[in-house]
Amino acid sequence: MEPKAVIFDLDGTLTESGKGIMKAAIAGLAAVGRESGGTEKLQKLIGPPLTEGFSEVYSLTEEECKEAVRAFRAYYETKGIFENELYPGALNLLRTLRERGTALYLATSKPELQARRVLAAFSLTAYFKEIAGGDDTRDGGNKEKILSRLVQTQAIPTAAAVMVGDRAYDICAANALGIAGVGVTYGYGSREELEKAGATHIVSSIDALTDLLLRDL
């Protein structure tokens, strides 16, 4: 059967947010005297919680991470959040799924307030039954914790749900909760990353994602 609930990631899945995030990351790294190392390295920061990304990708210390995150958010919340585009076909996908009665949710490591601002800018808020974002004091942006909270509070039937995302974090979180994970390669993760994470399906375009979600999985 078609999934009764579809949970979407945001960055790299519905929106092409790389430009703003990478500019914010450059500001964050500059605040602690570090160079970015180029686009390929910066793109690794799109997806994971910021502290985890700065620590793993740039080997920042705990104190450096705090300062880098502070500078990142100072840039992102005023400029970077608007350096963002909706993927072509994303709006039509949401509209089609909602018309077919599919319950739509959003689960992102981005702070919830920021996620809501992005959705509002693209007039997407009304498509989602619930929006779950990161909270430094509650889950630190951990995708599994965010997804688990969403599933519990919304009583989402995991056996009839699908998580759609572009990074391993999305797929691993879905697998941990018994939800089918659909990886998209048009975002910021590679097919190899998504396969290694155990994605149930992998698609390379919004059109292919639409076809997949409208048939039996």
9 is catalytic: yes
DSSP collapsed to 3 states, the chain: CCCCEEEECCECCCEECHHHHHHHHHHHHHHCCCCCCCHHHHHHHCCCCHHHHHHHHHCCCHHHHHHHHHHHHHHHCCCHHHCCEECCCHHHHHHHHHHCCCEEEEEEEEEHHHHHHHHHHCCCHHHCCEEEEECCCCCCCCHHHHHHHHHHHHCCCHHHEEEEECCHHHHHHHHHCCCEEEEECCCCCCHHHHHHHCCCEEECCHHHHHHHHCCCC
CA distance 120 to 36: 30
Name every residue whose Cβ is closer than 8 Å to that of residue 205 and which is 6 or more positions away in sequence. Answer: 89, 186
User: Of residues 9, 11, 139, 166, which has the active-site annotation?
Assistant: 9
Asked whether 12 and 167 are in contact (CB, 8 A), the reply is yes
Q: Which residues are catalytic?
A: 9
